[in-house]
Amino acid sequence: MAESEHNRQVTLTFGGEAFADGRVPLTLLADKLKALQSLLFHAAATVEHDTVARRGQWMNRYRDAVELHFSEARTGSLVIEAELNEPEASLFDGRDVGIEAIDLAYEFARTVEAGDSKAVAAKVPDRQERLTLLRTLEQLAPRTNEAFDLTFGNGSINHPGIRLSAQTRARTQALIYREMIDDASDLEGARIVGTLTKIHYDVAPQKLSVRVRKGQEIDCYYDESLREQVSNLCAGSIVEVVGWATLTNNGRLKQLDVVTGVEAVSMEPIRISRFEHGGRVHQLREAVPFNIEFAEGVWAYSNDTLGIRGYAFKRDDALRELNEAFDFAYRDIGLAEEDSLIGKAIDMRREFQRLVQVNGGD
């Protein structure tokens, strides 16, 4: 196949421990394919230096050039192949904006993955364009503690695929923070989680209202680069909002004046294959699903088969509690003699014995 044909293809490979068998949930697959297409739409507008507001069905201006069409799927690790239509000579003065957009998206992701903020700025000099691309890349990358990764390929035989992981998402978020720090002046950094009660969209000022506890709603003000994420939110869902805040005189959070990130909190089970606590590491033979709950401001992660649960007011603290609970249950039950146990503890021991690798750290 000719090099030009390869360049019209895009591949997205789902890898990592969570989906080693290639069985990827359709909800996750749809979410990531949508994020990939969004990245290409925004990349096309960037290479065109399009200053028209991206509102309504703005992407229709680029649909003929950069809309991807499914061509093939391969299993093992799930590989999705998609490709562009052949370019129409009448569009964009005969330029192949589709290939230009794929190349920009690929090179931008590669530069972000390298963590070089100056190179990222050089790749896309316009700040608003840069922020928009960073946000779409953030949506494509896996979230923290998701035990999978994505490899984004641009179809070229000369370019290796770019592996996007939870670390990529963290790097992207750090770059967004750095871009917006001048807007924050003397504000305090904040992160809130709660129920989305209001969305002001296309109405000044653009803001969200989030109920963090009974009787307390926080107004969160966002800019144009977040329009796409905000448009996909639904009132009544649980959201996480990050940014800089004004505090009251007694130190309580009053409002988020500059939102740097917002997303609906996924309540889908997460899959974890590694636990660590007290210097001990437990590596599992397969990723195990943990249910997620959020109520009255408390996060909880649990697995009934293993009989463990971690909960706290912050997600990171709840996950740390889960790691500690796993470590304790494994050493207390998983390593016990079976004839010393009764009831459900026997089943728990057998599951621990099945899952934990011998060299995983006892």
Percent over 70 (pLDDT), the chain: 94
**Helix, strand or coil, per DSSP, at residue 278:** coil
Collapsing DSSP to helix, strand or coil, 313 comes out as: coil
Nearest-angstrom CA–CA distance, 277 and 321: 9
pLDDT tens track for 250-286: 878 889 998 988 888 878 888 888 899 999 999 998 8
For Cα atoms 237, 43, 106, give the angle at the middle one, nearest 5 degrees: 100
| In the predicted structure, residue 358 carries a pLDDT above the cut 80 | no
Residue 2 confidence (pLDDT) = 40
The answer to whether residue 349 scores a pLDDT higher than 70 is yes
**DSSP reduced 3-state for 361:** coil
Query: Would you state the pLDDT for residue 176?
Result: 87
Residue 6 confidence class, pLDDT cut points 50, 70, 90: very low
pLDDT per position as a tens digit, 328-337: 999 999 999 9
- Whole-number pLDDT of residue 5: 44
Q: In terms of C-beta distances under 8 Å and separation of at least 24 residues, what long-range contacts does 119-125 make, across chains too?
A: 120/175, 124/46
CATH entry 2.40.50.140 includes domain 184-264: yes
pLDDT tops 90 at residue 51:
no
The residue that leads in pLDDT, 160 or 64, is 64
Q: Hey, CA dihedral for 335, 339, 340, 346, is it positive or negative?
A: positive
To the question of pTM greater than 0.75 for the whole model, the response is: no
β strands within the chain, DSSP E: 9-15, 69-74, 78-83, 149-153, 162-164, 188-200, 207-213, 216-221, 238-247, 253-264, 270-277, 280-295, 298-303, 308-312
Using DSSP bridges, classify how beta strands 280-295 and 69-74 pair: parallel, antiparallel or unpaired: unpaired
- Cα Dmax for the chain: 79
pLDDT digits (tens, 9 = 90+) for 72-81: 988 878 999 9
Q: What is the pLDDT of residue 179?
A: 80
- pLDDT for the residue 184: 58
**Strands 216-221 vs 238-247: parallel, antiparallel or unpaired:** unpaired
Name the residue among 16, 245, 37 with its Cα closest to residue 142: 16
Q: Of the given ranges (51-60, 111-120, 285-294), which has the lowest mean pLDDT?
A: 51-60
In this structure, are residues 261 and 223 in contact, taking their beta carbons and an 8 Å threshold? no
Q: What does R_g of the chain's alpha carbons equal in angstroms?
A: 23
In the predicted structure, residue 154 carries a pLDDT above the cut 80: yes
Q: What 3-state DSSP class applies to 344? A: helix
State CA 200 to chain mean position distance.
24
Q: What is the pLDDT of residue 53?
A: 77
Residue 115's pLDDT is 83
> What does the domain layout of the chain look like in residue ranges?
3-179, 184-264, 270-360
CA–CA distance, 208 with 201 (Å, rounded to integer): 9
- What is the average pLDDT score of the chain? 87
pLDDT of res. 4:
42
